[in-house]
Amino acid sequence: MILKRKNRYILVEASSPLDAVAESRSIEAAMLKVLGELYYSEANPKVVAQSDPTLFAIRVNRGQEGRVILALSFAREISGRKMGLYTLKTSGTLRALHSLHGNKAPKHIVRV
Amino acid sequence: MKYTDLTLMESPDTELAARLGFLRVLGSIHIAVSSSSSSPEGPHIVISDSQGELSKALRESSVAAIVVKDSAIMRKVFAEAAEREKPLLLIATELTCAEGRQRLRNIYRMKNLFRIAKHAGCRIGIVTLARDRESMLSVMQMIELAMLIGATRSEAKNMLLVLGDNHDS
């Protein structure tokens, strides 16, 4: 039997334009700093898509989205730039996130 | 939901606040924040670490809410606030803008503050008091922060409504 891994997608807005896919390592490092290795491995957050210079989506393991939202609140700097990261919505699928957010959220996963 | 946030900015970005889930965001032009109960004329919020100053502030009708500065735990003030139905505000940026050990201390202090104020029957709210755009937070983030300091999900949602109710009246 193959167990399906359930994910949650978090729509994030940055306070200033950011190439989230290219700078995914910096965003993930900022989350790792707050979550620590244990919680990070449980949540496994990954930047998966970007639709707008300030809007991007993060995929996390289901049940861990609360911790990732907190980690994003505590992250104040991305690649040495002062930045605020606001979490707007969470959803079980990227497509639902897209339709929930007035078709502005990313629709397809970008392979990073 | 009438989620309301309070910032220290003169004219907060209302479009951003709406995207973040707030119906209204108050700036320093709406509510003044002072360290003494009698300085501003209109509705204001008093931030102090002095028990006498906060007790005095609670008796003023123009004081909308109080904020306890530093690690002072004032059971009497919380009981008085509960009696006069004035809310105690917790500052979210104390958690988000601090780093390392300072953040740990702030989390510990706010957990204690929340627990004791709740026990005293005081209404508790949470606001960002953001000085800039980067320090603002979304409703989801505020709810998670409130849950971090010991609130349940429904209590956390009510904490975001406290200022809105008060400002209406």
pLDDT band with cut points at 50, 70 and 90 for residue B75:
confident
Determine whether the interchain pair A87/B140 forms a contact, defined as Cβ–Cβ distance below 8 Å: yes
Q: What interface predicted TM-score (ipTM) does this complex get?
A: 0.89
Question: Which amino acid, residue B17?
Answer: A
Using alpha carbons only, what angle is made at residue B2 by residues B63 and B103, rounded to the nearest 5 degrees? 70
Task: Please report the number of interchain residue pairs, chain A to chain B, with beta-carbon separation below 8 angstroms.
Answer: 49
Pairing type for strands B44-48 and B32-34 reads: parallel
Using alpha carbons only, what angle is made at residue B163 by residues B153 and B159, rounded to the nearest 5 degrees? 15
Determine whether the interchain pair A74/B137 forms a contact, defined as Cβ–Cβ distance below 8 Å: no
Establish if A70 touches chain B: CB-CB under 8 angstroms.
yes
For chain A, what is the largest distance between any 2 Cα atoms, rounded to a whole number of angstroms? Answer: 47
Task: Give residue ranges of B with CB < 8 Å to any A CB.
Answer: 19-21, 95-97, 103, 133-138, 140-141, 144-145, 147-148
What is the side-by-side order of every strand in the sheet holding A7-14?
A46-50, A55-61, A7-14, A85-91
Per-residue pLDDT at B169 exceeds 50: no
What is the pLDDT at residue B166? Answer: 55
Determine whether the interchain pair B103/A70 forms a contact, defined as Cβ–Cβ distance below 8 Å: no
Question: Which amino acid, residue A94?
Answer: L
Domains of chain B, earliest start first: 4-166 (3.20.20.140)
**CA gap A75, B141 in Å, rounded:** 12
**Rounded to 5 degrees, what are φ and ψ at A20?**
-65, -35
CA dist list (Å): A72 to A12, B3, B18, B137, B155: 9, 21, 19, 10, 22
Q: What does the pLDDT look like over A34-91, one tens digit per residue?
A: 999 999 999 999 999 888 899 999 999 999 999 999 999 999 889 889 999 999 999 9
Rounded to a whole number of angstroms, the distance from the CA of A91 to the nearest CA of chain B is 13
